[in-house]
Each structure stands twice: as structure tokens, then as C-alpha cells.
Amino acid sequence: AQSVTQPDIHITVSEGASLELRCNYSYGATPYLFWYVQSPGQGLQLLLKYFSGDTLVQGIKGFEAEFKRSQSSFNLRKPSVHWSDAAEYFCAVGGQTGANNLFFGTGTRLTVIP
């Protein structure tokens, strides 16, 4: 069965510092992988996605993620965090044959300190 693990519930970084949010997945086939961001009181916005090709994918707002099949990971990174990046981040997996839905991790809340 598919599942997504985000091991960090809450991360605090200083503005300007680099960021890495971890995501591990369990999936029976080639996964389709996504990162979403949710600002307080808002819906989810798609940051980036991977389903084939180059394992390093670029997204919006300066984010990138790297797919590592050997580690079953899809970690999100940003070289320099801005205060406006404070939000909750969700990793998701989907695309199993015969299904057409997404499975989400429990999220990582990011706090940015000045």
C-alpha cells in the first residue's frame, strides 16, 4: 500500500538559511510525487511535481526537490529561506494504476525567524 512519511513535524530556520524538508514514500510502482504548500487558513498550492525524467525538479518560489529511488525519498530544498516561506508543507504520492488520487504525508510546519 502506498504511504508517505514526513518525519519532521516542525522545523525552525533563520531567514536566509538553507532549508531541506524530508519526505519518504512507500509505493509499488513508479510514483508520481508532489510537494504542496499551505499558508495559514488557505488551501494547498502545488509547488512542484515529479513523475519521470530528470530527478531534480524545479518548482515555484525558488523551491526544488530531488527524487532518489534508492532511498525512496523526495526531499524539498531551498537555498535561502524568506520570511514569507513560513507555512505548512505537504508531500504527496499518487498515480497507482487503477487509481487516480493522492496520498498525503502529515505535513511539516516551517517557522522562519528573523
Confirm if 99 and 1 have CB atoms less than 8 A apart.
no
Q: Which of 9, 29, 53, 97 binds other proteins (CB under 8 A)?
A: 9
3 near other proteins (CB under 8 A): no
Q: How far is the CB of 87 from other proteins (least distance, A)?
A: 14
- Dmax of the chain from CA atoms? 47
Q: Tell me the C-alpha distance between 32 and 91, whole Å.
A: 11
90 near other proteins (CB under 8 A): yes
60 near other proteins (CB under 8 A): no
Confirm if 3 and 58 have CB atoms less than 8 A apart.
no
Identify which range of 21-29, 60-68, 73-81, 96-104 contacts other proteins by CB under 8 A.
96-104
Among residues 68, 73, 94, 76, the alpha carbon closest in space to that of 35 is found at 76
45 near other proteins (CB under 8 A): yes
Q: How far is the CB of 113 from other proteins (least distance, A)?
A: 22
Q: Which residues, in sequence order, are bridge partners of residue 46? A: 36
26 near other proteins (CB under 8 A): no
Phi, psi of 71 (to 5 degrees): -105, 0
31 near other proteins (CB under 8 A): no
Q: Which of 44, 65, 76, 81 binds other proteins (CB under 8 A)?
A: 44
